[in-house]
Amino acid sequence: MQNQATPNATAPRLPTTSWEIHLAARPTGAPTATNFALVERALPELTEGRILVRNTWMSVDPYMRGRMDDRPSYLPPFELGAALEGSALGTVIASRVAEIPVGTMVSHFAGWREYAVLDAAAATPIDPDVADAHHYLGALGTTGLTAYAALTDVAPVRPGDTVFISAAAGAVGSVAGQIAKALGAARVIGSAGGPVKTELLLQEFGYDAAIDYRAGDVAGQLAAAAPEGIDVYLDSVGGEQLRVAVEAMRPKGRIALVGAISGYNGGTGAAGPDLYQAATKEVSLRGMLVTSYFPIFGEYIGKAAGWLADGTLRTRETVYEGLEQAPAAFLGVLSGANTGKMLVRLG
């Protein structure tokens, strides 16, 4: 088999160890740098049907906070003393799989490490000619798919709708506002923290109005931006913003429950929504897991690649350099330090 990594006198020397970020201790409340450890570990053998990938980009995302706790969820908790995991991109440097030759760029779920030995089924070849590779972790990855599925299926946008999006300068929100416009929304309102981010919503991401939740009176700001109410809300925050959105909903409004970052560190946060009010308005509140929408990934990438190419979709990334900076990047995304997608470049 031509792609087998068979040792010979001229073959390049392959790595035998990899640096990894491990979960050193489970956090109580907000995580800190002490919850992580940088560890060197031996790589497993490259057996038939597997590939060796040198990771070049990795993603850090808010949902990872839940996996640091030892409790049941839709994904198993991270193991203590073992490498964390998450979406990553890399280049195949050795292969025992004919269909994935050396040099192929792949996406996979074994981030938080320099090198990964993967079964062929765990890697998806990507085409870097379609868009810059890092977009496959953002606008062309699960981030973009989350926004698309939320606004086309979970809480579908209809032409003429007024749409409200929380965490609008973040990874999902910065894409979602633009997708809402592409789907025919008449007015798109975003919330973000601070004047720099709210200005970015207006000037770069195409929002019609921006709310600075740190300035207080979110309800008053939303009423001023949408005096006749809202039809769709994409919620990544929970707490006060979800409550305010329900209050502002028009009859038969639609809410996509994508995340609730205000409560990820164990705090109860501000009071949640008045569900009686939601019932009397016949508002739908529907949760979503992006994994349920993997069957439409190809459909979405086809559309989003076109949007990127023609400028319909603009993106921003906040990039930390080096594997050792991955914990800092993760803590940053939990505190809202990122604009757009938070990424770590490994090399």
The predicted-structure confidence for 255-299, as pLDDT tens digits, reads as follows: 999 988 766 666 555 577 889 899 999 999 999 999 999 999 999
Element containing residue 315 per DSSP (H, E): none
Q: For the chain of 347 residues, list the mean pLDDT of each consecutive stretch of 10.
A: 43 89 95 97 96 98 93 91 96 96 97 97 92 94 96 97 96 95 97 95 96 95 97 94 96 94 62 88 96 93 92 93 97 91 93
**Phi, psi angles (nearest 5°) of residue 209:** -150, 155
pLDDT value of position 6: 44
Collapsing DSSP to helix, strand or coil, 254 comes out as: strand
Q: Write out the two tokens for 4.
A: 């087998």
Distance CA 155, CA 149 (A): 8
pLDDT value of position 8: 44
The packing angle between helices 142-149 and 297-310, to 10°, is 100
CATH code of domain 142-291:
3.40.50.720
pLDDT value of position 33: 96
Closest CA to 86 of 347, 329, 337: 329
Pick the CATH number of 17-138+316-345 from 2.60.40.2240, 3.90.180.10, 3.40.1390.10, 3.40.630.30: 3.90.180.10
pLDDT value of position 5: 45
Closest CA to 254 of 163, 139, 143: 163
Contact in structure between 282 and 251 (CB atoms under 8 Å): yes
Q: Are strands 187-192 and 162-165 parallel, antiparallel or unpaired?
A: parallel
Closest CA to 36 of 28, 20, 25, 47: 25
Task: Write down the pTM of the prediction.
Answer: 0.88
Rg of the chain's alpha carbons, rounded to an integer? 21
pLDDT value of position 261: 75
pLDDT value of position 72: 87
Q: Write out the two tokens for 345.
A: 């470049």
pLDDT value of position 263: 65
For residue 84, give Cα distances in angstroms to 22, 58, 110, 339: 6, 12, 8, 23
pLDDT value of position 73: 85
Distance CA 326, CA 10 (A): 35
Q: Residues of CATH 3.90.180.10 domain(s) within the chain?
A: 17-138+316-345
pLDDT value of position 269: 53
pLDDT value of position 100: 97
Distance CA 194, CA 212 (A): 6
Mean pLDDT for the chain overall: 92
* DSSP for residue 30: S
Q: Residues of CATH 3.40.50.720 domain(s) within the chain?
A: 142-291
Distance CA 20, CA 115 (A): 8
How many other C-beta atoms are found inside a 10 Å radius of the C-beta of residue 110?
22
Between CA 328 and CA 73, with CA 89 as vertex, the angle to 5 degrees is 65
pLDDT value of position 215: 94
Contact in structure between 248 and 226 (CB atoms under 8 Å): yes
